[in-house]
Each structure stands twice: as C-alpha cells, then as structure tokens.
Chains A and B, each alone.
Chain A
Amino acid sequence: MHRRLQRDRDGAVAVSLYHYDPSVDQAPRFQAFSVPMTRGMRVLDVLDYIYKDLDHPFAYRWFCGTKRCGRCAVTVNGKAVLACWEPAQPVMRIEPLRHFPVVRDLVVDFSEAEKRLTAMRPLLERSRDYPGFPEPITHETMMAAFDLMVCIDCRVCVGACDALERSPDSGFAGPAAFVQLASVVADPRNDVDRSTSIMKGYIDQCHSCNDCTHACPNGIEVLEGAMDLVRTTVIDQGLYRVPLWGTIRKMPPGLRALIHCRLGLSSPTKIVRRE
C-alpha cells in the first residue's frame, strides 16, 4: 500500500517507488522520495537521482539512456513507458512493467518472452537464391518492413496490452513479438509462410484496443502495421476467420477499439487451425 504524496511546490518530483525482493519480502512496498526537477528530466534521470544522489539502493535496468537498448521499460502512474524517453511528472508512482515476472524492484524477467520470440523465428527466410550484393530492392518496396524495423524490442507495448491485462494466461504472445515477426512478413524478400508462428502466438487474442500503438515510444503503427498485417496473413490462409474483416480493417483504430473493446461488441471469430 502506498500513500498519496503531495506535490512539492518548489518544482520537485514526488516519487512513490515500488520495492520487492521475492527472496526476502512478503509483499511489495512503496517508498517515497523527493527529487529536484531539472531541465528536460526523464523518468530515468529521476531513478538515477534516487540511486546515486539520494544513495538509495534498488534494482532497475538501463544501458544506453537514448532509446536504443530498449531495456528500461517501467510503469509510471499506471502507464507503460520507456524510462529514458518519458518526461518526469510532478507526482509519479513508479512500478515494474506489467505482464512479466518481477526479478527485483523494477527489474522484470524477459527470459520466457525471449524464448517464445526465438521460437517464432523472426528472421528472413528466402526460398529463392540470394542474388548478390546489392540485391535489386527499392526503398518503396521495403517501406512497410522498414517502418517496423525501428522496433527496439522494449516491450512497452506488451506492458500496455489490454488483452494481456484481461487474460494474462491466454497464451497471447503480445504485440512486441508480432512487430518483430511482422517486420519479416512485410519484407518483400521473405517468401516463406509464417502462418504457424502467427497462430501459435495466439493472434486471435488481440482485440484491437490500440493501446499498444499509443504506448510505442518509436511511433510504430503496432495495430495497423503489425497486428493487422499478420492477422490478414492467417485470415487469407483460411486458418482464422473474422467476419467482415475487410470492413473492420479499414476502420480508424479508435473506432475499432470502441466497438471491440470498450463497448464489447466483438464479432465472433473462429480459429480454423492453430498448428
């Protein structure tokens, strides 16, 4: 249980920081800190200040600080964010990223997610011979894949995923894994079918809430660019049926989210074959 903290009127950040060491603690607890606000302060700067300047030990992950390593995702005031990208706010409750087991404090365990991603084989597979460097591709044909390749695998989208929030044990692989796979599916050089991986990732669990897209720190169109792309692949293969998919796919994401999630008017879908 944590106490709500007053905003410091001198421009400091009031932080309520999650602590939990499963090897010694009975339950998670929160501890309060006051951090002076500095110019351009990120959440990571706040965490660094607590660790270093306030000399308070706790576990958190970061490596690059510049949105490249993709390893500093946390939850701030209930929202999944990348600590190095997210601006500090005057009052912050900082917790670990949702939907992953906690190792300690803000550090979560990605190992099962990594194994799952590896099993999906997000790698280019060519059935034709490689023509030699430079191969005859254009940026236009690579655009869809290129836009997805900017994914740094930070898993903020997974933390934000409403489907996982409602059904944490559904077997859904989560959006990040599908972005990685979609960057291969969208690659014109890839000509090996990925339907099995897509179905084994339980793509049908995605209910188009679009929270993943809103959360992505790199501005990737997660729903339309990745989830819908792989969903269309398996629908076209006849493995999965979504009534009126052609119409649904053309709707603006906000409207789809309203219909499918907020109003609960999901159309019945049917899994034809998963393997």
Chain B
Amino acid sequence: MVCAREESIRSKARQSTPSPIPSRADILIIGGGLAGMYAALKAHEGGARVVIASKGPLGRSGGSIFAPSFHQALKPEWLGHLPRPWDASERFFVATYQGLMAEGPLRRADVWTTNEALPELERMGLYFHRASQGPFKGQLLHDPAMSAWAPKMDMSGRTTADLLRRKVLDAGIEVLDEVMATSLLVNDGQCVGGTFLNILNGDFFAVRSRATILATGHSNYLSKRSNGTRDVCGDGIALLYRAGAELFNVEMANWRYRFMAWPRSWMRLGVNGLPELARDETGRLVGPDRRLWFENSLVNVPPSDGLLCRKLPDLAHAAGNASRSSVDGGSYRDLSYHDQFFRHLGLDASKDLIELAHNYHHLHGGAWVDPLTFESRTLRCLFAAGGAIGHTGIGQCLYDGKCAAEIALGRIESTAMEELDAAAPDQETERVVGLLRTAGTKSGIRPQVIKTRIREIMWAKMNHEKDGATMESALEDVLAVRYTLAPNMALPSATRRFNSDWVDALDVYNMLDAVELEIRASLLRQESRGGFYRSDYPHQDDANWLKHIIVSQVGGELRMRTEGVPQDDLGEPTNA
C-alpha cells in the first residue's frame, strides 16, 4: 500500500543536497570534540581558513560528551572559604600518571582553565551551576578539590561541546560532519593534509593543508566493555602510525569501575557516588547478600580512579565478601539518590540493587609531541590536541586546542600550500574505495564480526588484570585476525549511502593497529604504573621504568624505544 507519506519520503530522499567538497585549508582539524572545536574557533579568529572534520556528528560524540567537570578549576575566593591548594590537582594527577608527566605543562593548563577558559565560556553563555547555598554547586566541602560544573545529563562536557558546536557553525567555519579521516598525507617529513570518507554519501576526497591538528580523542571502543562511543575506534593512533609519526605510552590505558552492567546499550552510563573528587555524595558497595564491603568514608580513598580500580578487588577479597566481583559484573550498588535511569528500568534505587561493571576508559598516551608546542616531533606541521601530553579534562582539552591553534597559526605563515595533485593518492584510494569491490563475495566475513572478535580478545586477555602470558596470547590472536580474517572481509553491499559495513572495514584496520601497538608496548613495560597494571610486575619501578615508551613505523617495521621523563618544566628529555 503506497500512501502519500511514503511517496513524500521517497521524493525527499531523492533530493539530496550536494555537499561541496573542500580541497584546501590553511588549518585542517581532524576530530570534532572539545579540543578540535576550540582549536577551530581559535584558528578561525586568527584569520586562517579552517576545515574541521568529525567522524561522528560535531560536538556530539567521543569522550568529550562524557566529561563530568572542569577539574579543580575553582578559586577559593570564588567559594568564599577553604584555602585553594594547587597541590590538590597535582596530587590527583601525580597519582594518576605516577611521574610520567612533567608538572609544568599540567600546571599551565590548569592555570589557564581557571583564569581564561571559565570566564570566556561563561561570557559565551555556558552556565556554571550555582548552588542555592553558596556560590557554586558541586564543590566538595571536605576535600580541597574544587571542580566547576556546567552539567547537562550530569556531564559538563556535553554542555560545553554544545556551545562550541553552535559557535563553530555560527562562525561559518567549514564543517565536515560524519566524515571519517582515512589517512594523513605526508610529503618529505611534513604533514600536508588528509584523505576523507563522507559516511553519509560515500564521497572520498583529499584536503590539502598547511597545518593539521589531530584531535581524535583517547577514549576508544577497543574492548568489549568500553567508554568510547561507536565511532571512536583508535583512528588517531592508526593515522599516526601509518603516517610514520611517533606515538608515546599507548599502553597506558585507564579503566573505570562504575558502569551499568545491563542493558548492553547503557554500557557507558557511569553511576556516580563512588569516591570521586568534588562530589558530596558517598557510595557503598555490597555483595548480593547485601553485606557491606566498601564505603568510602571508612577507607583511605586513593586519589585516582586508576588506583581505585586496583584497590577495589583487593578490598573485596579482604572483606571476604561473597560478591564474586569481577570485571564482568558481580558488584552491586546500594544507592538512594540516583533516579531517572533506574526508574526507567523499573528499578527502585531505594530498594533495588544496581549492578555495575568495569570499562576500558581512555588512553594517557598518543602522538609524541613537544609539550610546549603540541607539534609532532616526527612530522612537521602536524599537531595533536586533546589529552595530547597525557592530561585529561575539559579545561585541559581546550588548552591543547588553543595551543595547537596558536602554534599552527604561526607555522602557516611560513608554510606554503603543497602544490600536489588535489585528488587523493592512488594507493589510499585503492585501500578505501577498493573495499566496495568485495561486495557480495560469497564466504566473505562481514567486518562487524571482526570488530567484535578484536574487542573480545582485548576483553579476555588485555583487561585491567593481565600478565605477560595473557598479553602474548592476545598478540597471537590479534595477528591471526590481521593475517587470516581481515583479508577475507567482504561488504554486504556496495552502496555509497551510509554504508556502515564500509566504515566497519576501515575501523578493523585502525583497531588492529591500535591494539597491536597497545599490546606490544604493554609487554615492554615491565612494571605497573598509574592506571596501567600487570600482575606479573605489580609494582612501580622508577629505577628502570620512569620512561616513556615511543613507538613508530620505520621502513614498514615497528620500532619501539624508550625516553626518559623530563624532570623540568621545559620538557627537555633526560637521557633514558
């Protein structure tokens, strides 16, 4: 039965608006989260022609939308009481990064956030939540960690991203929405742009640029339970690796403990109330018999989630609890203040237990950049922003974006546009568009099957608890996927319109690069540090391992080396 409405739908679908394809930019930004969008605004204000490409919708996906607050950004005089110990944020970050980050860059980001970012964002219209008693909501009265909150759905990142998205669009900056970067273009040691696939209509094209800022984020959906959104599959890591750029600390993956065990689609829903900085509410964990085994006012709470993740199972075992808590679940929540999500499941949080599980959260490594300029130490005119020197948080991401944009603006003055063919290189075109020729291959493996397999390997063998044996086994499994499964991928259809299988196939190769590097670097680091934990080397070993692990591809081969951690603010490396 054809009705008028169906015919209207069909005729509207046929009138697709052609999207003009940019081929040139002064500054190309890859990644549409907080860092990328802020960099775009600053670069645009600086007079550059900016193109920003986002694999998911701009400002609507990635780790940015899950960022809870502006960590420790409030000054004591704004709160009317409590001395402001700058060392509170340092305690937090030092504990999390355990010596791998120079204090100088972290402190600069924090100071800038407090003094520059908060006023600028408020002026733009961001609403920092005021309390009915006292000036700001969200301050923790008994811990000197004072975060600023501008929440929507409990996440300040989402509101900030919303504002920046509107600002970017309002400024008329060229936005490539739902467009996936497939490669970085390199000429003679310099990054000269990128190639892109438009997910909505299947256009494949190149954008040449004088400078490129990589802001793809560090919360990747690489393990079965992850906080990375659907789109973030280690793309940035793979782009860098394939371009020959160096990466650092890709083994420093952090885990978080407090996410919904079911339903599966709510995997990324964090349940607050565990000991968290800047939260008044406390949390308690019980076994299924309701016997209390953890309550944060009763224990000495470690100041970082990474350490907490390690400590909770120990506490559970020490309490002799019957929870059989594991990474897949088995720990239960006793809450009386959380509401809407639980009621929507038909749960009454004042009576029912809320089951939680553990997620692969984010990476503290990434592009190996100069911490002052955020420029790649390997490829000229390539910058990284968004946790680029290991730190995280809304303010820190914005700071990265600002710095990268400022330095890039300076660089482009002396950088000519590479006068190369505007079309994408043949090899990359074949790699990407050639996948469409696999359509309809009998006995081909659908790419999503392989993505699932990779995530299962990571979950089973590269979880928060792991050792050399499980890691070696994970590596074997990953190599088997790369050499026996991936070559047999076939797309079900060659359609150009929102062909998710095509994107999945590209994701497979990005994920294989990202996880292989993570496993190999993890094997190399024979210690545990911050969020990185291996049970065969459970302790921190500063004597041997106060080092960064640097990986890259040289002549098609993986090269791994170490470099000593800078001991001064200028970020000069010491001898390893």
**A: which residues have CB within 8 A of B?**
1, 20-24, 27-28, 38-42, 44-45, 48, 51-52, 55, 57, 59-60, 62-71, 84-85, 87, 96, 100-105, 107, 109, 111-112, 114, 118, 121-124, 126, 130, 132-135, 137-140, 142, 145-146, 149-150, 152-153, 168, 184, 187, 189-190, 218
Asked if A101 contacts B78 (CB within 8 A), the reply is no
Asked if A27 contacts B10 (CB within 8 A), the reply is yes
Q: Given that A42-B266, A44-B265, A48-B265 are known contacts, is A63 also in contact with B231, CB under 8 Å in the complex? A: yes
User: Which residues in B have their C-beta under 8 angstroms from that of A146?
Assistant: 127
User: Which residues in A have their C-beta under 8 angstroms from that of B262?
Assistant: 38-40
**B: which residues have CB within 8 A of A?**
1-2, 6, 8-10, 12-17, 19, 56-57, 60-61, 65-66, 78, 118-119, 122-125, 127-132, 135-137, 152-153, 155, 158-159, 162-163, 166-167, 169-170, 177, 200-201, 229-231, 262-269, 344-345, 446, 448-449, 452, 492-493, 495-501
CB < 8 Å: which of A1, A39, A40, A63 contacts B230?
A: A63
Asked if A139 contacts B200 (CB within 8 A), the reply is no
CB < 8 Å: which of B15, B266, B499 contacts A66?
A: B266
Q: Find the B residue at minimum CB distance from A45.
A: B265
CB < 8 Å: which of B153, B200, B449, B496 contacts A68?
A: B153
User: Which residues in B have their C-beta under 8 angstroms from that of A126?
Assistant: 123
Asked if B61 contacts A64 (CB within 8 A), the reply is yes
CB < 8 Å: which of A51, A123, A139 contacts B132?
A: A139
User: Which residues in B have their C-beta under 8 angstroms from that of A40?
Assistant: 262-263, 266, 345
A218 CA / B344 CA spacing, docked (Å): 12
Asked if B158 contacts A68 (CB within 8 A), the reply is yes
Q: Given that A109-B16, A134-B136, A150-B152 are known contacts, is A63 also in contact with B229, CB under 8 Å in the complex? A: yes
Asked if B498 contacts A38 (CB within 8 A), the reply is no
Asked if A139 contacts B130 (CB within 8 A), the reply is yes
CB < 8 Å: which of A63, A66, A107, A109 contacts B56?
A: A63
CB distance from A37 to the nearest CB of B (A): 11
Q: Given that A40-B262, A68-B66 are known contacts, is A63 also in contact with B152, CB under 8 Å in the complex? A: no
User: Which residues in B have their C-beta under 8 angstroms from that of A142?
Assistant: 127, 130
CB distance from B167 to the nearest CB of A (A): 7
Q: Given that A23-B496, A45-B265, A65-B265 are known contacts, is A55 also in contact with B65, CB under 8 Å in the complex? A: no
Contacts A52-B448, A57-B501 aside, 12 further interface pairs with beta carbons under 8 A come to A21-B495, A28-B9, A40-B262, A60-B500, A64-B66, A67-B153, A71-B61, A109-B17, A109-B200, A134-B118, A149-B159, A189-B125
Asked if A101 contacts B12 (CB within 8 A), the reply is yes
Asked if A1 contacts B1 (CB within 8 A), the reply is yes
Asked if A132 contacts B130 (CB within 8 A), the reply is no
Asked if B492 contacts A57 (CB within 8 A), the reply is yes
User: Which residues in A have their C-beta under 8 angstroms from that of B1?
Assistant: 1
Asked if A121 contacts B170 (CB within 8 A), the reply is yes
User: Which residues in A have their C-beta under 8 angstroms from that of B6?
Assistant: 27-28
Q: Find the A residue at minimum CB distance from B448.
A: A52
User: Which residues in B have their C-beta under 8 angstroms from that of A190?
Assistant: 125
Asked if A38 contacts B12 (CB within 8 A), the reply is no
User: Which residues in B have their C-beta under 8 angstroms from that of A38?
Assistant: 262-264
| A-B CB contact pairs (8 Å), 6 listed | A41-B263, A69-B65, A84-B265, A107-B498, A123-B125, A152-B152
